[in-house]
Amino acid sequence: MTHADSSLRFLFGDADIRGESVVLDTALRQILHRHDYSTTLRALLGEFAAAVVLISNNLKYHGKIILQARSTQSVELVMVECTSDLQIRGIARGDLAAVAEQPMELLADGQLAITIEREGNQRYQGIVALESGALATALEGYFQQSEQLHTRFWLSSDGERAAGMMLQQLPAQRQQPAEARESQWQTACILAETITPAELLDLPPPTLLHRLFHETSVRIYEPKPVVFGCSCSRERSLNALSLLPEAEQAELLGEQGHITLDCELCGAQYRFVQSDIPALAETGRVH
């Protein structure tokens, strides 16, 4: 399969280190073309998208991971989510024309939240401050704080495509001195640091991994496809509409004879008439 819009896992044969790689193309553009984002904001959404796919590969159950940042700057929110079957969607809110020399400057002094939603309404959230000016560094701090595992990220986006790589030191499984274990981790990171943003975007992951780690044994697993997908539905839209006071529902319905709800993330439209809305269908109340 092509490596565009895919994620693959790799494992070091002689060290307790695993890795993930992702390349996004069409799936990312399907997120970006929904709104008129600036070039800077497109690159920022690209980094978030690559990062959340890398993180989602930790999911060992059905659910999703939401990576979002909130800020008091011109860009109030950046959010991208990825399900356990690698469907992504995302959005940014605020000044969509905002530009900056570095994408993360749009979220200066903000907070980054990583939310894990497990099927059955189980939810866990961790929050870290965006202090470094780099999404990769903030994520590394989160993993060190929450899982106490060495984790490194490399992210790149040109506003049309995005790519990323993650290395993570696994809990000790090999009988070896702590010094040897740490040396293996440091060596892997030093080699990975030689990667350039252009290489991350342009090289197929197997080629990139061979270039970086050809002196060690690395097992590469089959890539998995990443697609754009939205969890909105007519049922969910109706549930949201039903939360409005009955008088407000009637007022909205009375204006045009129907109510239309649009999904900001995928552009889907859901149209409801009086008989669709339980409270109004029962009472017949329309002003």
DSSP per-residue string spanning 6-51? EEEEEEETTSSEEEEEEEESHHHHHHHTTS---HHHHHHHHHHHHH
Do residues 223 and 1 make contact, with C-beta atoms less than 8 angstroms apart? yes
pLDDT over 90 at 251, yes or no: no
pLDDT computed for residue 50 by the predictor: 98
Lowest mean pLDDT among 38-47, 118-127, 156-165: 118-127
Six token digits for residue 85:
């079957």
Domain ranges of the chain: 6-228, 234-283
pLDDT computed for residue 282 by the predictor: 58
Tell me the C-alpha distance between 14 and 213, whole Å: 12
pLDDT grade, residue 287 (50/70/90)?
A: very low
Tell me the C-alpha distance between 38 and 207, whole Å: 32
pLDDT computed for residue 2 by the predictor: 61
Q: Does domain 234-283 have CATH number 3.90.1280.10?
A: yes
Six token digits for residue 13:
């044969």
Give per-residue pLDDT as tens, 137-146.
999 989 888 8
What is the arithmetic mean of pLDDT over 211-229?
94
Do residues 152 and 160 make contact, with C-beta atoms less than 8 angstroms apart? no
pLDDT grade, residue 162 (50/70/90)?
A: very high
Terminal-residue alpha carbon distance, the chain: 57
What is the arithmetic mean of pLDDT over 212-224?
93
Angle among Cα 213, 214, 216 to the nearest 5 degrees reads 70
Record the pTM: 0.88
Q: Does domain 6-228 have CATH number 3.55.30.10?
A: yes
- Tracing tokens 């929904």 back to the chain, one arrives at 34
pLDDT over 90 at 212, yes or no: yes
pLDDT computed for residue 280 by the predictor: 64
The beta strands (E) that lie in the chain are given as 6-12, 17-24, 63-70, 75-83, 87-94, 111-118, 122-129, 151-157, 162-169, 218-220, 224-225, 227-228, 259-262, 269-272
What is the arithmetic mean of pLDDT over 187-209?
96
pLDDT grade, residue 106 (50/70/90)?
A: very high
The beta strands (E) that lie in 204-264 are given as 218-220, 224-225, 227-228, 259-262
pLDDT grade, residue 94 (50/70/90)?
A: very high
pLDDT computed for residue 205 by the predictor: 95
Compute the mean pLDDT over every residue in the chain, rounded to the nearest whole number: 89
Lowest mean pLDDT among 97-101, 114-118, 255-259: 255-259
CA torsion sign, 46 to 44 to 71 to 139? positive
pLDDT over 60 at 229, yes or no: yes
